[in-house]
Amino acid sequence: MFVLGLLGGGVACKAPLTPEEDRGRAVEWVRTHSSEPVREECPADRVPEKETKLGDFKTHCDGRLAWCARQCSDGDDATACYSLAYGFMVKDTHVALMEPLYRRSCVLGAMRGCTLWAGALAYLHGSSDEEKVCLARTYEKTCARGEPMGCAVHGFDLMIGRHAPPDLKKAREVLERVCKATSADDPACESARDSLAALTSLERNPGTTTPPPATRPRPGGP
């Protein structure tokens, strides 16, 4: 009888969300759950002692952005938070949406989430001296935990002397760790290779006061 009831329309099936509806609900969740007070935090103070291993963040939220948003909040799913931020980065480059998601992934133990949270804050707010010190402290701390992008940015800062006199020896030590810790196509490794090329030029010309062309890594990628 139950089967007949279903066939006869006794139970209505909920229509799946369209891609536009799915994305709209995810965006609304992020905006609703973003809190201004937490943006006063420094990511360095939330870097975990032990890292949570992420799943396949590049596909985790495919076709289910709204589900990922709920998992990020209610399911304490670091991969869902990170994957949703990654999806916004690839399709929207909407840093204001990425920042609270990277923050949440960091709080849940995703080390690169902490690095990218700092990168998003740098893009959105990081202009004061206090904010710059916070960001530098974050990159140094995630690097110390073995996070490649944190090391790519920290090594660059050491090379150019962003917050202290340049330390080329330490910069090389830090930058050479990056590609050993990740794949060659990781943006962190690509950035480190560029910085090492610039560093080599500086080492060969010790009287140079201006570093050769090299772009500071922007932690916004995977």
Tokens 């290779």, located at residue = 193
Neighbours of 146 (CB within 10 A): 13
Taking CA atoms, 86 is separated from 16, 83, 205, 218, in Å, by 23, 5, 40, 14
pLDDT: which is higher, 7 or 64: 64
Query: What are 205-221's pLDDT values in tens digits?
Result: 877 765 655 666 666 55
Which residues have CB under 8 Å from 49's CB, separation 6+? none
Tokens 């931020």, located at residue = 85
Model pLDDT, residue 214: 60
Model pLDDT, residue 148: 96
Model pLDDT, residue 1: 39
Task: Record the pTM.
Answer: 0.83
The structural domains of the chain, with segments of one domain joined by +, span 19-126, 146-206+213-222
Q: Say if CB 67 and CB 82 are below 8 A apart.
A: no
Model pLDDT, residue 198: 92
Per-residue pLDDT at 39 exceeds 60: no
Query: What are 108-156's pLDDT values in tens digits?
Result: 999 999 999 999 888 887 678 888 899 999 999 999 999 999 999 999 9
Model pLDDT, residue 6: 39
Model pLDDT, residue 218: 64
Query: What are 171-215's pLDDT values in tens digits?
Result: 999 999 999 999 999 999 999 999 999 999 988 887 776 565 566
For residues 174 and 164, what is the distance between their CA atoms, to the nearest angstrom? 16
Q: How deeply is 159 buried, as exposed, middle or buried, from its count of CB atoms within 10 A (0-12, 13-18, 19+)?
A: buried
Q: What is the DSSP letter of 50?
A: S
Q: Say if CB 143 and CB 174 are below 8 A apart.
A: yes
Model pLDDT, residue 32: 83
Model pLDDT, residue 2: 36
Model pLDDT, residue 211: 61
Query: What are 90-107's pLDDT values in tens digits?
Result: 665 578 888 999 999 999
Q: Up-side HSE of residue 34: CA atoms within 13 Å toward CB?
A: 16
Provide the CA 155 distance to its chain's centre, in angstroms: 17
